C-alpha cells in the first residue's frame, strides 16, 4: 500500500475532516492509487483500488459526519448552478424519476406481495408516492431536512429525518427496502446492510441502484466518469464486490445487472456543469429551449441494479 502520507499528499481538503479507511469488502489495507479527482467545490480526493478484492473507493475521504451535512440542505436537491454538489433540479425532474421508480416497483412486486416498503434515502418521497398508489404501506428515511419536510408536508408521507439506524425500526418489519443511489454515500456499507437485513422479514427483498465500477463507461472515461464524485461518492462497487458484501450479511443475490435510468436531453445538458464548468446555466437554458428536449428515453451512464432476498 502506498504510505498514508503519500495518499494524503494527493488530497486537498481540511486535514481535520479527513480519515483513512481499510477496504469495506475484505478488510485489507493494501491499495493501488488510481486517480486524484477534484470536486466542484475545489477539494481533491484520491481514488484507490483494493489489491485483494478490487473494490474501488475513496481514501483518505471526508468523515461521514461532515459529508452528512452536505445532504441536510435543500441545495443538494435543487442547485441549478455550476458549483454546488447534488442535483440540478430534483424537483423539476419528478416525472423522469417516477418512470424509473415504477419500473423498480414492478421488479419488487414480481418477487413479493404488496406490503410494507421502506425507501432509504427517499429524498422528497417521489418513489414512496408511486408505491402508495400501488397499495404499499410506506415509510421513508432521509437525511435532508428540506427533502424530508417536503415529503411529509406536501405528499403526506411518513418520513424519518435522520439515518436508518436512528430510525430504530422493529425487527422483520418490512417486506421490501429500496436504496437508490445510497450505498455509495454510506461510510460503513456493511453496518448499513446489516441494519437493512434486520428490519426485513425473512424472504423480504432489497433493491439497490449504484454506480458500477465494472462498467464500460468507467473503463473508457477513467477519472472523468460522471459518477466519480469523491466529495460525495465514497465507494464504487462492481457486481462482484457488492455481491460479496451482500452474501456476508445474509442476503441471496437474485440479480446484479447493468441498469440505467430514464432521462431526457434537457437533463443531460443540465449535467454539463460536471464537464464544462462555467457553462452550466447556459446549457440548462439550451435544454429548455430545444424542441423535444423533454421526451424521456432510457440511458445508461455506468450504473447497476442489485436485487437480493433476505435469508
Q: Which CATH number goes with the domain that contains 109?
A: 3.40.50.150
> How confident is the model over 245-286, as pLDDT tens digits?
999 999 999 999 999 887 766 666 665 555 555 555 665 666
Highest-confidence range of 78-92, 233-247, 252-266, by mean pLDDT?
Answer: 233-247
What distances in angstroms separate CA 216 from CA 9, 35, 75, 300, one per listed residue? 30, 17, 31, 10
Residue 80: pLDDT over 50? no
Is residue 140 within 8 Å of 125, Cβ to Cβ?
Answer: yes
pLDDT tier at 45, thresholds 50, 70, 90 = very high
Contact 227, 301 (CB under 8 A): yes
Alpha-carbon distance values, 160 to 118, 141, 232, 275 (Å): 11, 5, 22, 35
- ω into 237 cis (within 30 of 0): no
Q: Would the pLDDT of 23 be above 80?
A: yes
**Arithmetic mean of pLDDT over the chain:** 87
Which residues in 230-264 are b (16+ Cβ under 10 Å) and which e? bbbbbbbbbbebbbbbbeebbbeeeebeebbbbbb
Q: Which three cell numbers stand for residue 224?
A: 472523468
When divided into structural domains, the chain yields a total of 1
Q: 11-25, 129-143, 295-309 — which one is most confidently predicted on average?
A: 129-143
pLDDT of residue 298: 73
Q: What is the pLDDT of residues 112-128, one digit of tens each?
A: 999 999 999 999 999 99
Q: What is the mean pLDDT of residues 202-229?
A: 96
Give the residue numbers spanning the domain of 124.
Answer: 4-310
pLDDT above 60: residue 52: yes
Work out the angle at residue 185's Cα, subtended by the Cα atoms of residues 179 and 186, and round it to the nearest 5 degrees: 80
- Running DSSP on this structure, what letter comes out for residue 269? H
Whether the per-residue pLDDT at 82 is higher than 60: the answer is: no
DSSP 143: S
pTM: 0.86
Amino acid at each position: 500500500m502506498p504510505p498514508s502520507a503519500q495518499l494524503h499528499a494527493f488530497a486537498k481538503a481540511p486535514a481535520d475532516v479527513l480519515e483513512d479507511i481499510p477496504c469495506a469488502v475484505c478488510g485489507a489495507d493494501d491499495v493501488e492509487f488510481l486517480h486524484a479527482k477534484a470536486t466542484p467545490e475545489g477539494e481533491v480526493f484520491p481514488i484507490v483500488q483494493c489489491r485483494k478484492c478490487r473494490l474501488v473507493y475513496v481514501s483518505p475521504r471526508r468523515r461521514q459526519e461532515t459529508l452528512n451535512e452536505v445532504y441536510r440542505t435543500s441545495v443538494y436537491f435543487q442547485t441549478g448552478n455550476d458549483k454546488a454538489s447534488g442535483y440540478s433540479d430534483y424537483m423539476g425532474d419528478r416525472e423522469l424519476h417516477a418512470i424509473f421508480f415504477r419500473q423498480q416497483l414492478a421488479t419488487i412486486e414480481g418477487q413479493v406481495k404488496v406490503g410494507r416498503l421502506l425507501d432509504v434515502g427517499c429524498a422528497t418521497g417521489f418513489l414512496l408516492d408511486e408505491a402508495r398508489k400501488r397499495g404499499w404501506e410506506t415509510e421513508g428515511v432521509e437525511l435532508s431536512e428540506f427533502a424530508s419536510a417536503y415529503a411529509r408536508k406536501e405528499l403526506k408521507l411518513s418520513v424519518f429525518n435522520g439515518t436508518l439506524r436512528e430510525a430504530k425500526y422493529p425487527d422483520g418489519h418490512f417486506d421490501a427496502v429500496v436504496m437508490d443511489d445510497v450505498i455509495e454515500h454510506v461510510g460503513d456499507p456493511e453496518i448499513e446492510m446489516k441494519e437493512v437485513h434486520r428490519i426485513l422479514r425473512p424472504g423480504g427483498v432489497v433493491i439497490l441502484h449504484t454506480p458500477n465500477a465494472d462498467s464500460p463507461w468507467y473503463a473508457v472515461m477513467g477519472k472523468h466518469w460522471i459518477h466519480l464524485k469523491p466529495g460525495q461518492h465514497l465507494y464504487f462497487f462492481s457486481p462482484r464486490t457488492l455481491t460479496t458484501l451482500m452474501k456476508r450479511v445474509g442476503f441471496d443475490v437474485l440479480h446484479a445487472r447493468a441498469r440505467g435510468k430514464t432521462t431526457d436531453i434537457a437533463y443531460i445538458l443540465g449535467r454539463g456543469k460536471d464537464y464544462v464548468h462555467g457553462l452550466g446555466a447556459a446549457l440548462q437554458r439550451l435544454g429548455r429551449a430545444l424542441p423535444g428536449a423533454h421526451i424521456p428515453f432510457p440511458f445508461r451512464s455506468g450504473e447497476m441494479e442489485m436485487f437480493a432476498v433476505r435469508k
